[in-house]
Copies of this chain bind each other. A is one copy, B any other.
């Protein structure tokens, strides 16, 4: 149940509509968690039923009406609880279609494997580039987060990403060499 808690964490910074949450989510948590817009709306409904949120309809002229969600005390204590609960071991596991394909690459040609690895490198480079762009996002959102030092944690997650993709690129280079030498 992490998507719910991610939304809870964002609403803890301030009340927002589903639409705004969707954008905030995609600007911040998206690098380590993904969610479809439709899923966000569904979860917000469920969370309201759980009593974690309340909603208020805001009428607008010239624009569609909107529904603003606010975190409740119950929601806030749920967030703290979740934060301090141990993460189960299986949450640390890797899930990678890419590695699964590599595992079975004995079933195809050397060239096809190398093409996949080169595509992989391109993906990593793109992901890394977008992480270097988060610095400006962090500054953009900083005023909305009450205590400034909280942004430190955002930066730490971004650092993880940078280290991760760098490691992937290095590994891919070594792997391509290993394959070339095994010919």
Q: List chain A positions with a Cβ less than 8 A from chain B.
A: 2, 5-6, 9, 12, 28-29, 31-34, 79-80, 82-84, 86-87, 89-108, 112-113, 116, 119-120, 123-124, 127, 145, 147, 149-150, 152-154, 156-157, 159-161, 163-164, 167, 170-171, 174-175, 178-179, 182
Contacts and interface: CB of A to CB of B under 8 A. Distances in A.
A33 B99 CA distance: 9
Nearest to A147: B106
30 contacts: A5-B100, A28-B103, A29-B100, A29-B103, A32-B96, A32-B99, A32-B103, A34-B93, A79-B107, A83-B104, A83-B105, A83-B107, A83-B108, A86-B119, A91-B98, A92-B120, A94-B164, A99-B160, A102-B156, A104-B153, A105-B153, A106-B145, A106-B153, A107-B150, A149-B182, A152-B178, A156-B178, A156-B179, A159-B171, A163-B171
A118 B96 CA distance: 25
A98 B147 CA distance: 22
A60 B115 CA distance: 47
Given A34-B93, A108-B84, A167-B164, A6 B119 contact: no
Nearest to A101: B83
Contacts of A9: 100, 103-104, 107
Nearest to A83: B108
B87 A32 contact: no
Contacts of A152: 106, 178-179, 182
